[in-house]
Structure 1
Amino acid sequence: MKTRFAFGLSVALLLAGVAHAQQAAQDQPAGDLVPPTSASDFTAGQLDSALAGSWRSAPNKARDVYRHPKATLQFFGLQPDKTVIEITPGGGWYSEILAPILRDNGHYIAAVPAGNGAEERQDADALRAKFKTDPAQYSKASVITFNPKAPVLGAPGSADMVLTFRNVHNWVMAGNAEAMFKAFYAVLKTGGTLGVAEHRAATGATLDAVKGSGYLPTDYVIKLATDAGFKLDGQSEINANPKDTKNYPKGVWTLPPSLALGDQDRDKYLAIGESDRMTLRFVKTGVNKAPAVPAAATTAANPGAH
């Protein structure tokens, strides 16, 4: 629900009165990073600089009030010297924040699904083009592709953090969710962090009842992660939205940024805002808890292997 709606989002949020959503950032060039007094102060300074960066588009900045990037990334424990893989970043909303922060001492990796479909190719090509437009911010960022049915995201134990935002429902509908969470576990170092933000179903809702709506039960998402070997390390209400009633004609896509009903009740849905979201932090506490990556997938990740 990301790239295909990016241009519609720009018009909807900029022209439909999201002035109240601009409190989180000002459209100005970022200066030097704030000198650190501690690791957390260093990250906070970099986040502030990135959020104010002139390379961020105005529509993306307008969504800060809904996506709370600073608080979310602080909750996940982002540090500027880590290797961070973002899964399916779409048009690169979080790439605009993460890549500059990780540029000098870490590594930002955007992992996009490989495929022959137009949308898959468009996502990967658009992200690479975005990175080329501003080498000062993105020159060290990487784009990798993965097979969603047998995903491999890098060498085992090579990443410090895996992040994914509003993607789990797509994997559930495609039947790939378990494989994806196992791949997250495989690529992370012991002690590494998995951060998940996802549309949250109403309390007590079953998976069968909401599967096609874009919303997921929190306990189901937690189980996906713990079944793959992760330990739940924290939950946050950073991205909660109590206005979200979660019963719409077009599911979560009825709300912004998608606004799937077009002009029908547009003001009503803009007033609700973006979806209510769970924000979950998991940690990889041990090794060999998740099933081994399929041999064929391993070979694909290591082209020299035979």
Structure 2
Amino acid sequence: MNLTSLLARGCIALSIALPLMTQAGTTLTLEEVVAGPQRTPTRVKRDVYRHPAQTLAFFGLRPDQTVVEIWPGGGWYTEILAPYLNQHGRYYAAQVAPEMDEERADEVAGFENTLSHQPDLYSHAAILTFEPPQRVDIRPAGGADVVLTFRNVHNWLKDGSAPAAFAAFYRALKPGGVLGVEEHRAAPGTSLQQMIDTGYVSEDTVIKLAQDAGFKLVARSDINANPKDTKDYPNGVWSLPPSYKGGDQDRERFAAIGESDRMTLKFIKPAR
């Protein structure tokens, strides 16, 4: 898939909105950044399912923190995180290795282009490479205050790199730092193979991966829960929006369900 087709699908946004404006010394609130003109309109439509302001507040995000976002893709959360952190904090995007395939290369190229075209918003943003289990050194100088991952754990389960990924998050954080995880939620007792096939992961699986890496679970939230999601579709979670993997078949039904039921978990790296 080339860059043009990704842009057409809304996977990558080259924003031309007016920059966020603040008076000297004024820091925008998280809610103001979420409502800001820098965000791509097609992405804003997903807020009803993803609740970005509430989710980031649950993770305890502050504008003076160093934050690493894992596999941000085309930058859905980047349009919020990087501007929010730009004045007093630092944003790191731990991206996939672009040489892996053409689609990933185009996505990363578009992501980099977005950052370079709005330096007023993204001047303190930086890109790291994260491709577990080989390329996992994502610790910023001094360590991160927060590591965030949104709907990625199923990918690491599929390729067997989940333990290495969570170990890398632990190393990247300062003592007392926060790991925030959002993931498609499977029913308790779902087998590993079912998780791989459907994209839904059980909370117990995510919690065990984090605890095995040294993390402590401190809170969980149903901010991103969706009781309409029955999790029994022919194309797994990708049947639902925004993927609609089945095309037009049952599209209206899937649109009415909305995006997936999701766990939202907050872990800490214990202070030693």
TM-score by length of 1: 0.80
User: Is the contact made by 1:87 and 1:163 (CA closer than 8 Å) also made in structure 2?
Assistant: yes
- Inter-partner Cα distance in structure 2 for 1:136 and 1:191: 31
Deviation at 1:113, TM superposition (A): 1.9
Gaps of 5+ in 1: 11-26, 37-41, 288-306
1:274 counterpart residue number: 259
Matched, 1:134 2:134: no
User: Is the contact made by 2:6 and 2:107 (CA closer than 8 Å) also made in structure 1?
Assistant: no
Equivalent AA in structure 2 for residue 147 of structure 1? E
**1:141-220 to 2 correspondences below 5 Å:** 141-150=125-134, 151-155=136-140, 158-220=143-205
Q: 1:185 to 1:6 in 2, by over 3 A?
A: farther
Deviations 1:17-68 (A, max 9, x none): xxxxxxxxxx9975538x98xxxxx7xx521221121111101100001000
2:91 counterpart residue number: 108
User: Is the contact made by 2:19 and 2:121 (CA closer than 8 Å) also made in structure 1?
Assistant: no
2:78 counterpart residue number: 95
Secondary structure (helix, strand or coil) at the match of 1:211 reads: helix
Say which of 205, 224, 236 aligns to 1:239.
224
User: Is the contact made by 1:8 and 1:258 (CA closer than 8 Å) also made in structure 2?
Assistant: no
User: Is the contact made by 2:31 and 2:53 (CA closer than 8 Å) also made in structure 1?
Assistant: yes
- Inter-partner Cα distance in structure 1 for 2:7 and 2:245: 13
1:125 counterpart residue number: 109
Equivalent AA in structure 1 for residue 166 of structure 2? F
Say which of 5, 22, 41 aligns to 1:32.
22
1:39 counterpart residue number: none
Matched, 1:53 2:36: yes
Comparing 239-248 and 110-119, the one that deviates more = 110-119
2:248 counterpart residue number: 263
Deviations 1:133-173 (A, max 9, x none): 21111122111113322311025861110000000000110
- Inter-partner Cα distance in structure 1 for 2:140 and 2:81: 21
Secondary structure (helix, strand or coil) at the match of 2:108 reads: helix
Deviation at 1:237, TM superposition (A): 0.2
RMSD: 2.3
Q: 1:106 to 1:116 in 2, by over 3 A?
A: same
Matched, 1:75 2:89: no
Comparing 108-117 and 70-79, the one that deviates more = 108-117
Q: 1:130 to 1:155 in 2, by over 3 A?
A: closer
- Inter-partner Cα distance in structure 2 for 1:6 and 1:164: 23
Secondary structure (helix, strand or coil) at the match of 2:100 reads: coil
Secondary structure (helix, strand or coil) at the match of 2:180 reads: strand
Deviation at 1:118, TM superposition (A): 1.6
Give the paired residue count: 262
